[in-house]
A = this chain, B = another copy of it.
Amino acid sequence: MNTKELVEQIYKKKSFLCIGLDVDLNKVPKHLLKLDDPIFEFNKAIIDATQHLAVAYKPNIAFYEAYGIKGWKSLEKTITYLNTNYPEVFTIADAKRGDIGNTSTMYAKAFFEDLQFDSITVAPYMGKDSVEPFLSFEDKHTILLALTSNQGAFDFQTKKIEGKELYKNVIEISKSYHNAQNLMYVVGATKAEYLSEIRGIIPDSFLLVPGVGAQGGNLQEVCKYGINDQVGLLINSSRGIIYASDAEDYAQAAANKALELQKQMEEILLFKK
């Protein structure tokens, strides 16, 4: 999927919501545990109930890997279900990968070709030759960690190199990578005030913004500083939506939470015009 199609979907659905599928078997409704593949059944119900309210879904790969081969099967079924039934949805493998060249190519193949994700999150620590292998896939997107939403972001990301924070160095340098047009960036909602400066460096790029809701980020603040002509934002919410209820009504409860966010986004998009 290219960004033009993504922007069309945003205006069609009046939403720039991304739903994080971080499925933890300790948190899903108990009645699902009797089923053969509770993770997939949970995802399927959440997706069916929310697909008209969200433009993107983001399975966090750790939650699947933690269940070994069973987890990988659930992941495969989930991405296949999305691609088959809702091909208009943008899919993100939240994998935070990054390795030397030939190894990054293997990861890119795993997520872009084998699993057919539209995008993957990638860590920048190892530099250019660890990121460019992901960028070489056409109509696939590499979402580079810039400024994350956790406390540890202040350990290194906000430290200054020659007067400029590491995360700004990451963003600026990445603009010169081959196929940089396929880049998006992770910028945590808990640091909304940083967004205007980031927009100064990358006015046109899409930003994936985690941390709204459970982690305390504020949607209006993020949009105030981060929205651009093409909207340019994907706001992720995971736990706040998918664990809205642990009873049999969980999918409907998730849809209600997603609707709340979608309504706020609709208003922001109206106001923006």
A63 within 8 A of B: yes
CB distance from A124 to the nearest CB of B (A): 6
Complex contacts, A153 vs chain B, CB 8 Å:
126-127
Question: A98 and B123: CB pair below 8 A?
Answer: yes
Complex contacts, A131 vs chain B, CB 8 Å:
152
A166 within 8 A of B: yes
Given that A65-B107, A110-B66 are known contacts, is A124 also in contact with B173, CB under 8 Å in the complex?
Answer: no
A: interface residue count bin? 35 or more
Closest to A60 in B: B103
A96 within 8 A of B: yes
Question: A150 and B127: CB pair below 8 A?
Answer: yes
A15 within 8 A of B: no
CA distance A114 to B155 in the complex (A): 30
CA distance A219 to B229 in the complex (A): 54
Given that A60-B103, A68-B72, A69-B76 are known contacts, is A152 also in contact with B130, CB under 8 Å in the complex?
Answer: yes
Complex contacts, A127 vs chain B, CB 8 Å:
150-157
Complex contacts, A33 vs chain B, CB 8 Å:
none
Q: Pick the contact of A125 from B73, B107, B115, B157 — CB < 8 Å?
A: B157
Complex contacts, A96 vs chain B, CB 8 Å:
97-99, 123, 126
Question: B123 and A63: CB pair below 8 A?
Answer: no
CA distance A53 to B28 in the complex (A): 47
Q: Pick the contact of A103 from B63, B72, B114, B124 — CB < 8 Å?
A: B63
